[in-house]
Amino acid sequence: MTATFFPGRPDIHKVIQEKGNKDGRVLAPNAWAIDMLQPGDVYVVDHHGALIDGPTIGDNLGNSIFARSGNGIVYDGPLRDINGLKEIKGFTSYYKSYHPSHHFGTVGGGGPVRLNTTLVGINTITRIGGATVMPGDVVLARDGGVLFIPPHLALRVIETSEIVRLRDMVGHQRLREKKYTAGQIDSRWTDDIEKDFSQWLKGNKTKLPVPPERVEELLKTRTW
């Protein structure tokens, strides 16, 4: 589930707010996409790099996100209430920055306009950092960064990653054993190393983090 925010602009914000109210959406636009989340969704938000008075998510909306999706967020912008968010067991958040302030998102009502974020898209193409994101992409988030995988490539990515993981496992083991040098493992493997890998797979296929039948399939494609 994607959401895109632009810097606040009152005339655009007013039209979007009125349209949302007619459609039955409740209160502030920063919660509209959250109310649409389904189990398994990841809430992915482009928040245009706002910082001071920029956060649209704190521990209230964090609890709502987790209750609806069972997942967390990828938020290219600032969050607040970090301690409260950490208390949500199972809630995973990847975010750009932190600030204890709150965004301004009001127009009309007779008071002064206080606006620095305007929601311009829900479940539309968006951008996170240097990545283009489509609704329905598979999110892979680790300590080293966040990737967005087109659904039609997901199986290929999974199967390729299984092979890479197994090669890393045997490579690390052989480096610890000092059987090969770092240069040998960290470059194109020789036929002898490939043969060693095949033998390692055969001898450990019931002990690996990849199902044995998948290891058998892999062995059938190998010529070493």
- Distance CA(30)–CA(130), nearest Å, equals 23
Q: What is the pLDDT of residue 149?
A: 97
Tens place of pLDDT per residue across the chain (224 aa): 999 999 889 899 989 999 998 999 988 888 999 999 999 999 999 998 788 888 889 999 999 999 999 999 999 999 999 999 999 999 988 998 888 988 876 666 555 567 888 999 999 999 999 999 999 999 999 888 899 999 999 999 999 999 999 999 999 999 999 999 999 999 999 999 999 999 999 999 999 998 999 899 888 888 77
Number of neighbouring beta carbons within 10 Å of residue 148: 20
Q: Say what the pLDDT of residue 56 is.
A: 87
Give the per-residue pLDDT at 81: 93
Beta bridge partners of 202: none
3-state secondary structure the chain: CEEEEEECCHHHHHHHHHHHHHCCCCCCHHHHHHHCCCCCCCEEEECCCCCCCCCCCCHHHHHHHHHHHCCCEEEEEEECCHHHHHCCCCCCEEEEEECCCCCCEECCCCCCCEECEEEEEECCCEEECCEEECCCCEEEEECCEEEEECHHHHHHHHHHHHHHHHHHHHHHHHHHCCCCCHHHHCCCCCHHHHHHHHHHHHHHCCCCCCCHHHHHHHHHCCCC
pLDDT tens per residue, range 76-106: 999 999 999 999 999 988 998 888 988 876 6
Find how far residue 16's CA is from the centre of its chain: 27
Please give the pLDDT value at position 106.
Answer: 66
Structure confidence at residue 143 (pLDDT)? 85
pLDDT at 48: 86
Angle 110-115-118 from CA coordinates, rounded to 5°: 120
Q: How far apart are CA 12 and CA 8, in angstroms?
A: 8
Angle at 96 between CA 54 and CA 44, to 5 degrees: 85
Instruction: Sketch out the chain's domains with CATH numbers.
Output: 2-149 (3.50.30.40), 153-220 (no CATH)
- The amino acid present at 123, given as its one-letter code, is N
CA distance 173 to 167: 10
